[in-house]
Structure 1
Amino acid sequence: MACNGLFGAGQGGMIAPVDLRRTFTLQKAELAVFNRNVEELLLDFEIIYDMAKLLGEDNQRSYQALYVANQMVNLCDVNDPGTYATVAKLASSFFSQKNGDSQHMIHAMGHCHIDSAWLWPYEETIRKCARSWVTAVQLMASYPDFTFTCSQAQQLEWVKTHYPGLYSQIKDYVKLGQFVPVGGTWVEMDGNLPSGESMVRQFLQGQYFFQEEFGNMCSEFWLPDTFGYSAQLPQLMNGCGIHRFLTQKLSWSLVNAFPHHTFHWEGIDGSKVLAHFPPGDSYGMKGTVEEMLKTVRNNRDKGRVNSGIVLFGFGDGGGGPTEKMLGRFKRMKDTDGLPRVHLSTPDQFFSALETNTSQLCTWVGELFLELHNGTYTTQAQIKKGNRQCEQLLHNVEFLGSVARAKDDSFIYPASKLQHLWRLLLLNQFHDVLPGSCIQQVVEDAMHYYEEIRTGGVKLLDEALKSLIGTLPQPQLTPTSPAVMVINTLPWERTEVISMPRPSEEEKLGLVKVPSMGYVVLPENISPCTPVTVTMQDDGSVTMENEFLAARFDSMGRLTSLKLLSCNRESVPSKSYGNQFVMFDDIPLYWDAWDVMDYHLETRKPVTNLINNVQIRSSGGLRGAVTFTLQISDNSTIDQEIILEAAAPYIRFNTKVKWNESHKFLKVEFPTTVHSTNATYEIQFGHLQRPTHRNTSWDWARYEVWAHRWMDLSEYGFGVAVLNDCKYGCSVLGNVLSLSLLRAPKSPDATADVGLHEFSYALMPHERPFQEAGVIQSAYNFCIPLLTTSSPVTQHSSWSAFTVSSPAVVLETVKLAEKRSDTLVVRLYEAYGSTVDTWLQTSLPVKEAFLCDLLERPYDLQNVLSEDGRVKLSFTPFKILSVLLVLQR
């Protein structure tokens, strides 16, 4: 019997592209009679022999084990089964020698970490879950003390749909306390790249699922295997009813060993969670003596804690725990010479730990994995799809909420939005969004993004149609429709837009649109200082608007960028900004995952010019120049550099035809700024990382991640780089580098091959980046104004929400999950300051209540003032959510 196309069975090893032509032949099948007595004796001997071998020559107990093992061999006669009882009695006598009260306690719990997609597609994961969980359920019937932890609501939902009989059994064992749902999230997502709101939705969808299906929400966040952990996660956990955290992946750090296994983790806002890393550095243990001893020996918090977790079972669909593993734990339960082993649950472990945490250390800030930093860049199309879909759903929810508030007949598309959100959350799994998956998974992910785009655009159009229907309708049909411009962000915006004019050439307009609202423009274009673009005799080009004066050489490299308000030069002399650079990119092993520090030694500027700089638009509201570079025989860069009126940054619209192998493309911006730290946007805030390499901890951050912006500032002046879909970046010395494309060949040989379109921008600024509007500009750069035709011709404007402090960002407006008459408004403090602000809305609101991230009110105190405003108090990076009850 032959089979082919086994996922994870690629050429040259497991971590390789799937080889669909590879076949496997079953050559032999045997039937055997299971002898329980022999199995028990073998387990007895294994444990005692391993103790003799591993406890050490200086340990008296190891010699006792050695002599007992020797006696067992001497007494056992395979030709005389009657000797088995005598040998078993000898082993039992050895195991009956108990520990003292001070012995380390291991909380062992069954586990089967199953990647929702990795070297196999989503469809295969459904079968993996069923195969593994059937095994766990069968063991529970025979071993009432056996406990099994299971995370990821998505996987449980799959089994509910495809294997309802198994799911019914699972629910029965959940009630018995043996099958233990953990984690609280929809999937075990990547810990770096999802937006703050996406992370909220991971918990929101996950916790509601666990509550509805099993009667309880999870009390611990379970993320064993991911590639780093955002410093905002503690606050997000706390806001979703979670104060406990388990992971293991930091043990993979390549440079520095993380100093703790049990500790308090503090986020950027001061929120804390109790964190535990299983000291055995694995989430797939087999229950051996060696693993138990390592768990004790490796514990970096000896004296502070006297317990640790062991997760045992074959992972990734391998079947989970086995009867043999349970047999090992039975023998090690309380045997002198070994740590005590107790079949336990996460709640039992953390509850015992919480009785005294006074001696635990605190780690402040991000948990940075010093490995797998290539995942910030690999599979660029997945990362672009994630960013675009996050922003699309943001717009749909805001406009749907406004339509619901203004039009009683509008039905908010709650179920459709939940479906789209769950698709997006699924793609944020920690081997999909990071790009460390096979080609079939990439194809699945791109299909889901397209479904989100198609469905989201349809919902957006329906909300816009409803919103337009609330406008005063003209008595006469206008000869030419006016333009409605919609701003979904919480501040006034003045920007250049393309005015919709069917069957005509593109017409630009400079518009001012109120906060989270719209403006209707018949033909009105705001006055402004025009952009000028001039070609110089040497082939270079100058571009200037009211804020910036830039000069590019004939190759599109930035040779000068002055901020006119202070006449400060941003580019050092004899340096080039917008310099594309190629690196050799050959990791030691984890191809799609890693970019090693030695790649920095292979820097090669891209200087082969195909088409030098040409002026596409000479000025007015928008100036533009283009050029083309040759990367290699198979790869090119086409770029359009744009400077618009009233814009504080220069935009670089980029198309790359990419067909490389083990290469890394970046773009560099050297600056005249000197600072020992750079600032990077993370979820609902920002943090600083060093620009130097003083210590090994600094050096390990040679490639880091950010969301929409990074900034390098000294007092009074700085330079920021914005982007629309990139995450990998770095700042070394005075050079900001944005990572653009990689070319790994495993586990997807086609990774990133093809055409890519993306944009980034350079923004010099006076004053601190907070006051200079870098945060707002990055939002504007990523979330364009929306335009549509309006039946109303007279000028009008309207704003749904305003926030009085620029330090506070109104991130999300949505309908509440459980109430059709209530909106949820989510805000966060973005500057790192303590501030009071007023939230004001023109929507018909009768009551307002503060709530947590799961939309549960803190109390029933109405915080809406008599004049229809809500006063909110923020500390640095604080997230607040408000329930707004609509008048009906």
Structure 2
Amino acid sequence: MHDDRLLIEGRLARVLTERIVPAIHPASTPLTVGIWVAPDEPVPVTEGVAAPRTPIASGARWGAPWGTSWLTVAGTVPAEWAGRTVEAIIDLGFDSGMTGFQCEGLVYRPDGSPVKGLHPQNSWVRVASPAVGGEDVLLHVEAASNPVVPFPGPTPLGDRTTSGDGPQYRLGRVDLAIFDEEVWQLVQDLEVLGELMHEMPENPARRYDIARAIENALDAIDLQDVNATAAAARACLTEALAAPAIGSAHTICAVGHAHIDTAWLWPLRETVRKVARTAANMSALLADEPEFIYTMSQAAQYDLLARHRPEVYEKVRAAVAEGRFVPTGGMWVEADTNMPGSEAMARQFVYGKRFFLEEFGIESREVWLPDTFGFAAGLPQIIRAAGCTRLLTQKISWSRTNQFPHHTFLWEGIDGTRIFTHFPPVDTYNCAMMGREIAHAARNFKEKGSASTSLAPTGFGDGGGGTTREMIAKAARMRNLEGSPKVVWTAPAAFFDRAEAEYADPPVWVGELYLELHRGTLTSQAGTKQGNRRSEHLLREAELWAATAAVRTDAAYPYEDLDRIWKTVLLHQFHDVLPGSSIAWVHRETEQAHAEVARDLTTLVEQAQWTLGGGEAGPNVFNPAPHEWFSIPAGAAGPARAHRPCTVTKRADGGHVLDDGLIRVEVDARGLVVSAFDLVRHRETVSPGATANLLQLHPDLPNAWDAWDVDLFHRNRVTDLTHADFIAVQPDSRTGTVLRIGRSFGSSSVEQTLSLRDGALHIETAVDWHETEKFLKLAFPLDIHADRYASETQFGHMFRPTHTNTSWEYAKFEACNHRFVHLGEPGWGVAVVNDGTYGHDVTRTVRPDAGTTTTVRASLLRAPRFPDPAADQGSHRFRHMLIPGATIGDAVREGYRINLSTPRRGVAEPVAPLFTIDNDAVVTSAVKLADDRSDDVVLRVYEAHGGRATARVTPGFATSGFRICDLLERPVVDEVSALPDGPRVRLQLRPFQLLTLRFTRSRADDPD
């Protein structure tokens, strides 16, 4: 035998495809099929099972986009099949080359109990093993005709209102068939050895042995009677499959997995059914495969299953109780982690972990985020404060500029917290146990010599149905196979236990885990992002007011309402929703949900205010002082600087000057800011010869992933929007006078309002946006020398360089901030704050006068065409502030202030706050009643300036003591950051430290 690998591989591929695989089901008989098309949305199972059917034959077309059809398949097992294993093969019209993202089905018995899901790689249903012959077969299939959303062009299929009603699929094979176990096993033998041979280096003896065994097996097969000769062929492979792996072989801990996006190229209502199909599939597979372990994250998906598919959820609960269907992750959804605010990120863990504890009595220490688009530097301490210590992701392997240097390491956040982190070197969260994947994992693993274990999430995600019986069979063959890594089924916690034990001193990565891809998600779908920001701040205000009303008046605290609203907001922070990378249907519903959240929270705030004002829901005059006192956290409000109303005067050259006694802003005849002079510190803000408040338009057609990506070459062309249609001065009740500027470009228009208030330039930008594949930015060229800048993240801020010394810095050309960015020289700084934008860039140049111009640009709007061809079209409103002379503290305070909701109605008299804090560096994140309904009051604070802080917290109500708690409001031992100080609490916080305090209310002074 010659070592001609290509010849052997070619022979093997053809024989497998044309002869052996078809012989897995050597005999078949058609089933009869009936169909009923549900008139609108999915119907309850009882209705779908009972509805009348119309006959339909294989080959017939069915399935309008986003429709639901109920199929009934019926037949009888032939008597001559007695003793054989029999399966139903139900092909809904699958494209086997595109797993998921198409039609899917869930099979039910006549009594409505679920059997398993149907997917492109999983279209079989076991009927009898062994059959007795003559059995009647009757199955019902809830078939979803989800459209194949074409990538990457614009498509009307992303919304049921535009997708049409023509049938998309052609019903394929619907048969009863004999399943030949021996032939199926032969397929697994040959595929494992063939793939192993392909991955082995040139000329090792092992490769020759495998090639010889495969040739012998192929020679042993009678191509005209595969079923009769399969056992003989398998015998030729026994020795090759029995050779054990070397002792030092890499170990891959496989865990069953199906990454199911909570919404993406389908709406949330379809996610319910995707989860149901996959969970039914995996429950059935667990019953058949005793070594298999499956994991599912995202508490929200369990919750959806419990509420909408209880018959499947009961199967899941039973498998969880056995310890083989493993809840993991500890978050409500696999959220984006860049854009959610501090408290929202904390509540992702609170709601996720509490669900798993209450439903299953399980607390996961692992955070499971395989597909999130980068990880904010504030996340580690949130993970730790939630009682988790480990993180899994693989998305950073998608980075396009730099290869991340580790697969197992400690990740250190902004406060110094370190989390044991693993990136699976298999570089996918949809491992199929292919030889190339397993070999890649071992070759790719960067911790060789120090560690020998990695994890492989195994199974088809989204519409793929999870792990298959073929994957399990391949893993069994690779459990201890020479030339291959060892593969063992392992739960996530057991893998991390093993990894930590063997790698006691892993390397450390400090700061954000920046994904060098998908940067456009920081800007796409501005409406979704602004709705999220508004919801986060309204939730904070509602909890504050409701807690105050409960403590001051014994009013009922709206636990159920707040719980429901939090879950809604957290759900829409999923990593394809908040980032703006879903179909039109998803974002339409998200914006509707955010509008309902705003309405409900405004009602809760008003109810609390009315209660505090005497209990009458009358037209009380709103008092802004208590509103700001409650809405800007204690320690962040600070005293307002004395100022006079803004005046606007005409310049001789046709421009205008705005002046409030603290800053003077000069606007030229084009409506552009040419000077922002700090009158207190006698310092110019705008770079010489430059113009600020400059709108800039770029072409925006990335190489791929329209809604996801912004490529650096977009900067090669820029259009400065300098032409003003009008400039007008008008009076304003808040500031005295404002300047209005109108511009038009392309098919769009912008109107800006400029005013001065509290020593800051306030800019309101209203855009009527009708561009396509364009990127709109708002630029501020600043006369400041800074080699780094601060960007707000969860519970603090992080620094990024303004230069591009290395490829790592070069790659961060678009980044995320929350409410502010801040640049500073010793003694003087500038902040740019916002009310709902996240993407930005910061660049620097050196002028001929040797001065440095550092330009901050806020990213306002994009216009990608996929997956939503109408993304961002329509009206938008943004607010920004340019604050000359700002400290970090000013940036924190004004970041909160600009995000306050518009007051409507309130208490006529000021209300004393529940807590006062005597250090502006200690900022309140939340004030609420404890979730366990004990009436305890919870205060969450953090150090916001980046230094050590000592502060006193004074409760504004009688207390009998306090406890330091974790995010789930459970006591934390061995924490001394808060100590009693008479009636107060003395805090001693390290930079950016997050701290949760729980105060027990004293009832001694309550009325009888």
Are 1:744 and 2:864 counterparts? yes
Q: Quick one: which of 154, 177, 180 aligns to 2:326?
A: 180
Instruction: Work out the CA distance in 2 between the residues paired with 1:359 and 1:864.
Output: 34
Q: Which amino acid aligns with 2:987?
A: L
Task: Spell out the pairing of 1:652-731 with structure 2 (5 A cutoff).
Answer: 652-731=763-842
Shift of 1:465: 1.1
CA shift in 2, pair 1:858/1:619, >3 Å: closer
- Amino acid aligned to 1:33: I
Query: Are residue 458 (structure 1) and residue 609 (structure 2) matched?
Result: no
Residue in 2 that maps onto 1:382: 528
Q: Give the 3-state SS of the residue equivalent to 2:574 in structure 1.
A: coil
If the length of structure 2 is used for normalisation, what is the TM-score?
0.81
2:903 aligned with 1:843: no
Q: Are the aligned partners of 2:568 and 2:593 in contact in 1 as well (CA < 8 Å)?
A: yes
Q: Give the alignment partner of residue 589 of structure 1, picking from 694, 704, 722.
A: 704
Q: 1:4 corresponds to which residue? A: 64
Indicate how the Cα distance of structure 1 residues 527 and 80 shifts in structure 2: closer, same or farther if over 3 A, else same.
closer
Q: How far apart, in 2, do the equivalents of 1:50 and 1:621 lie?
A: 72
Paired with 1:196 and 1:390, the residues of 2 have a C-alpha distance of 9
Query: Which residue matches 2:173?
Result: 29
The equivalent position to 2:663 in structure 1, one of 543, 548, 560, is 548
Name 2:940's counterpart in structure 1. Answer: 826
Distance 1:319 1:328 in 2: 18
> Displacement of 1:649 after TM fit?
0.9
Q: Which residue of 1 aligns with 2:35?
A: none
Q: CA deviation at 1:620?
A: 8.7
Unaligned segments of structure 1, at least 5 residues: 494-512, 520-524
Tell me the amino acid that sits aligned with residue 607 of structure 1. Answer: T
CA contact (8 A) 2:265 2:583 kept: yes
Change (3 A) 1:518 1:878: closer
Evaluate the alpha carbon distance shift between residue 584 and residue 518 of structure 1 in structure 2; reply closer, same or farther with a 3 A threshold.
Answer: closer
Change (3 A) 1:573 1:873: same
Task: Please report how far the alpha carbon of residue 131 of structure 1 lies from its aligned counterpart in structure 2 after TM superposition.
Answer: 0.7
CA distance in 1, matches of 2:150, 2:226: 49
1:622-679 deviation per Cα after TM superposition (whole angstroms, max 9, x unaligned): 32010101121x10000111113xx121111111000000000001111110111111
Judged with a 3 Å threshold, the aligned counterparts in structure 2 of structure 1 residues 748 and 312 are, in CA distance, closer, same or farther, namely: same
- Is 1:638–2:751 an aligned residue pair? yes
Which residue does 1:412 correspond to in 2? 557
Q: Using a 3 Å threshold, how does the CA distance of structure 1 residues 713 and 320 change in structure 2: closer, same or farther?
A: same
Question: Which whole-Å deviations, capped at 9, do the CAs of 1:786-839 have from their partners, x for residues lacking one?
Answer: 4646566xxx66333211111110111011111331011000001111122111
Aligned to 1:151: 297
Q: Distance in 2 between matches of 1:864 and 1:83?
A: 79
Describe the superposition over 1:476-529 as per-residue Cα deviations: whole angstroms up to 9, x where unpaired.
x9xx97553354566998xxxxxxxxxxxxxxxxxxx9979999xxxxx99853
- State which of 929, 932, 943 in structure 2 corresponds to 1:815: 929
Shift in alpha-carbon separation, 1:16–1:248, aligned structure 2, 3 A: farther
Residue 883 of structure 1, aligned match among 954, 973, 998: 998
Alpha-carbon separation, structure 1, partners of 2:820 and 2:975: 38
Give 1:445 deviation, angstroms. 0.4
Kindly provide the amino acid, as one letter, of the partner of residue 233 in structure 2: V
Matched position secondary structure for 2:178 = coil
CA distance 1:488–1:354, shift in 2 (3 Å): farther
Question: Could you say if the C-alpha distance between residues 342 and 690 of structure 1 is closer, same or farther in structure 2, counting changes exceeding 3 Å?
Answer: same
**Are residues 1:445 and 2:611 paired?**
no
State how far apart, in whole Å, the 1-side matches of 2:627 and 2:357 are: 33
Kindly provide the CA deviation profile for residues 320-371 of structure 1, in whole angstroms up to 9, marking residues without a partner as x: 1111111111111101111111011111111111213234111010000001
Distance of 1:252 and 1:38 partners within structure 2: 38
In the TM superposition, residue 553 of structure 1 has moved relative to its aligned partner by 1.1
Equivalents in 1 of 2:507, 2:399: separation in Å?
Answer: 20
Partner of 1:770: 888
Pick one of 339, 342, 360 that aligns with 1:193. 339
> Compared with structure 1, are the counterparts of its residues 866 and 623 closer, same or farther at alpha carbon in structure 2 (3 Å cutoff)?
same
Which residue pairs with 2:311 in the alignment? 165
Structure 2 CA distance for aligned equivalents of residues 688 and 145 of structure 1: 47
C-alpha contact (below 8 Å) 1:406/1:470 kept by paired residues? no
Residues 1:799 and 2:917 are matched in the alignment: no
Output the amino acid matched with 2:349. F
Number of equivalenced pairs? 847
Alpha carbons 2:380, 2:417 under 8 Å: kept: yes
Shift, 1:864, TM fit: 7.0
Query: Which amino acid in 2 is paired with 1:741?
Result: L
Displacement after TM superposition at 1:85 (Å) = 2.5
Other-structure match for 1:86: 232
Instruction: Check the 8 A contact 1:532/1:620 in 2, yes or no.
Output: no
- Measured at CA, do residues 449 and 270 of structure 1 come closer, stay the same or move farther in structure 2, by a change above 3 Å? same
User: Normalization by structure 1: what TM-score?
Assistant: 0.92
Specify the SS of the correspondent of 1:127. Answer: helix
Q: 1:90 to 1:789 in 2, by over 3 A?
A: closer
- Structure 1 residue aligned with 2:194: 49
Whether the aligned pair in 2 keeps the contact of 1:110 and 1:320 (CA below 8 Å) is yes
Deviations 1:729-754 (A, max 9, x none): 01101111010100001000010000
Q: Contact between 1:377 and 1:434, CA under 8 Å: does it hold in 2?
A: yes
Any conservation in 2 of the 1:269–1:876 contact (CA below 8 Å)? yes
Tell me if structure 1 keeps the 8 A contact 2:635–2:920: no
Which residue in 1 is equivalent to 2:132?
A: none
Identity %: 35
Amino acid corresponding to residue 76 of structure 1 in structure 2: I
Q: Deviations over 1:106-129 (max 9, x none)?
A: 101110000000000000000000
Is the CA contact 1:561–1:569 (under 8 Å) kept in the aligned structure 2?
yes
Instruction: State the alpha-carbon separation in 1 of the partners of residues 152 and 891 from structure 2.
Output: 46
* Aligned position for 2:986: 871
In structure 1, give the amino acid aligned to 2:710. V
Q: Which amino acid aligns with 2:663?
A: L
Which one of the candidate residues 295, 299, 305 is aligned to 2:441? 295
Find the counterpart in structure 2 of residue 498 from structure 1: none
* Preserved CA contact (<8 Å) 1:9 1:16: no
The 2-side partners of 1:431 and 1:66 are apart by 45
1:38 to 1:206, Cα distance in 2 relative to 1, 3 A: same
8 Å contact kept, 2:629–2:913: no
Query: Deviation of residue 530 (structure 1)?
Result: 3.4
Residues 490 and 516 of structure 1 are in contact (CA less than 8 Å); yes or no, is this contact kept in structure 2?
A: no
Looking at structure 2, the residues matched to 821 and 575 of structure 1 have their Cα atoms a distance apart, in angstroms, of 56
Secondary structure, counterpart of 1:4 in structure 2? coil
| CA deviations over 1:295-328 (Å, ceiling 9, x no partner) | 1001111112101111111111211111111111
What SS class does the counterpart of residue 670 from structure 2 fall into?
A: coil
Cα distance between partner residues in 2 of 1:129 and 1:393: 29
Q: CA RMSD in A?
A: 2.5
CA distance in 1, matches of 2:602, 2:592: 15
**What's the CA shift string for 1:187-219, capped at 9, x where partnerless?**
000010000100110000000000011111111
Q: Secondary structure at the match of 2:876?
A: strand
Matching residue within 721, 735, 760 for 1:606: 721
2:138 counterpart residue number: none
CA distance in 2, matches of 1:674, 1:791: 47
Q: Secondary structure at the match of 2:783?
A: coil
Question: Structure 1: which amino acid aligns with 2:624?
Answer: V
Aligned residue type for 2:532: N
For 1:662 and 1:517, locate their aligned partners in 2 and report how far apart those are by CA, in whole Å. Answer: 40
Which residue identity is paired with 2:265?
A: L
The residue correspondences of 1:253-332 to structure 2 (distance < 5 A) are 253-332=399-478
